Amino acid sequence: MILAIKLPNDISDRVLTFPFLHALYRYLEESLDEDESLIIHLISLQKGIDVLNLLPFKAFYHELEDEDIKTIFSIHRACMNFKIEGLDVFISTTESFVDASIGKNFSAKTRAGFAIGKNSWFLNKKISLNEEKHFSQQVFDLIKVVTDDVVPIKNVYSRNLSPFFSDYGEKPYLVINLDVVEGQFNYEWKEFIELFENKKIILLTQDFEVDLQKSELESFVGELSPKNEYEVFVLDSHIDFAKLVTYAACFITHDSYLSYISAYCGAYTFLLNRRTHNKSKAPAHFLGETKYFDLRERSQYAKAFDTMYTYIEDKTKVEADD
């Protein structure tokens, strides 16, 4: 069977489709005859496409640029450059009219997606979209494209990753994603970090362009007391990021797509929300536990930082003793 799937453009949404991709792969691998093979093509925007390398199965990846997805004509031109032939099933995981048209460009026998408005023009198998469900569960309903069986949604995790630091067992560390307010790192992080002694703390930020991250982070480290060990991490690879957080004591972040990657990799994640929170798109069905705090409520500040402090002290002490 040859299968192609158009994944969401947003990186967070893309990672939230992973429980569906795991289940789909597992079901097809188990149900195909011995003489049949499964070939999967994953179609995604180029930005953040490397997160697909975290999936534990083989697939072909096809990159799209922003201009490719503007109209059904631009996506047609892009599809002509992909080496996808003999397509049996195409599935769109989005609500996009343009995405729904992709299967027709490849003459897919089954062209499936959500039953939304004009998308039906291009689809011959339509699945109802239940907007009351969590986003992962909405996408998971697309499993009905290949089976009428009841397939349970399970917590999933990434492929095995080698550690970013080989001595992580002897030197446990925590990772903090610093957010920026009016061009400066949020002052709250400095106050929080100063609570610790003799910790290894890895600092990163997604709020500066890649070529500025190292200098901005090093400048911030220069303002911290030397009672901890600090390293800066430039966010130029989601695979290296995944290796970093997988073996960390914890990952602390503001609202960020990075929390989805860390949860998928099995990391313990503290998610500090400062904006309106869409619970239907929170990290879900991943191996890693995510502890969520709504910092829009001032009463949550003390609870959040006390909880993180206690967890880090306990976690690093246990790992150090081990």
The pair of structure tokens assigned to 291 is: 């502890």
Q: What does the mean pLDDT of the chain come to?
A: 93
User: Which residues, 6+ apart, have CB-to-CB distance to 35 below 8 Å?
Assistant: none
* Maximum CA extent, the chain: 63
- 108-121 tens-digit pLDDT: 999 999 999 999 99
Q: Which CATH architecture has domain 173-321?
A: 3-Layer(aba) Sandwich (3.40)
- 202-243 tens-digit pLDDT: 999 999 999 999 999 999 999 999 999 999 999 999 999 999
Burial of residue 228 (CB within 10 Å: 0-12, 13-18, 19+) is: middle
Contact (CB, 8 A) for 63 and 84: no
Contact (CB, 8 A) for 243 and 225: no
Q: What is the pLDDT of residue 169?
A: 86
Q: Nearest Cα to 264, choosing from 114, 55, 7, 71?
A: 55
* Mean pLDDT, residues 30-37: 89
Q: Is the pLDDT of residue 270 over 60?
A: yes
Percent of the chain with pLDDT over 70: 98
**Can you tell me the distance from the alpha carbon of 293 to that of 210, in angstroms, rounded to the nearest whole number?**
28
Q: What is the pLDDT of residue 317?
A: 76
The pair of structure tokens assigned to 281 is: 């798109």
* Mean pLDDT, residues 46-61: 97
Q: How many C-beta atoms lie closer than 10 Å to residue 10's C-beta? A: 15
DSSP state for residue 7 in the 8-state scheme = P
The pair of structure tokens assigned to 167 is: 């001595």
Q: What is the pLDDT of residue 276?
A: 64
- Fold: same for 2-145 and 173-321: yes
Q: What is the pLDDT of residue 277?
A: 65
265 SS3 class: coil
* Domain residue extents for the chain: 2-145, 173-321
* pLDDT tier, 318 (very low <50, low <70, confident <90, very high otherwise): very low
Q: Is the pLDDT of residue 52 over 90?
A: yes
Contact (CB, 8 A) for 54 and 241: no
Identify any residues that bridge with 91 across adjacent strands, giving them in sequence order.
Answer: 5, 112
Class of the 2-145 domain?
Answer: alpha beta
**Can you tell me the distance from the alpha carbon of 277 to that of 286, in angstroms, rounded to the nearest whole number?**
19
- 73-88 tens-digit pLDDT: 999 999 999 999 999 9
**Can you tell me the distance from the alpha carbon of 6 to that of 99, in angstroms, rounded to the nearest whole number?**
7
CA distances from 108 to 102, 121, 138, 142, 165 (A): 9, 14, 23, 16, 45
